[in-house]
Amino acid sequence: MRVDDVYIGNLIYRLRHKRGLTQERLAEAAKISVRALRAIESGEVRHPRHATITQLALALDVEDQVHQQLHETAQPPRRNSTMNVSEAM
């Protein structure tokens, strides 16, 4: 599965379930609101702040590679800065 095919909420949800955590427990451990966690997991928030991802990764006790994948997945898509105006229309 490519990172592009997954959004951050799916990854957080799977990691949370794998560790047997409720949204309430993970939110408390990550020091974020349950509402914020729900918004991330539901896809309402697709690009959470860097600090939020770090807090979640630490609370989930993930390996460095998974932590990096979470950050990569949370990044907004990059725009092609070399595209000229006529290509965009």
Mean pLDDT of the chain: 84
Assess whether pLDDT exceeds 50 at residue 75: yes
Asked if 8 contacts 40 with a C-beta cutoff of 8 angstroms, the reply is yes
Instruction: Quote the pLDDT of residue 85.
Output: 38
Rounded mean pLDDT of 30-40? 97
Prediction pTM value: 0.78
Gyration radius of the chain over CA positions: 15
- The DSSP-derived string for 25-57 is HHHHHHTS-HHHHHHHHHTS-SS--HHHHHHHH
Assess whether pLDDT exceeds 70 at residue 33: yes
Rounded mean pLDDT of 54-80? 88
Instruction: Quote the pLDDT of residue 80.
Output: 60
How many angstroms separate the CA atoms of 67 and 48, rounded? 14
Spell out the domains of the chain, with CATH numbers in brackets: 3-74 (1.10.260.40)
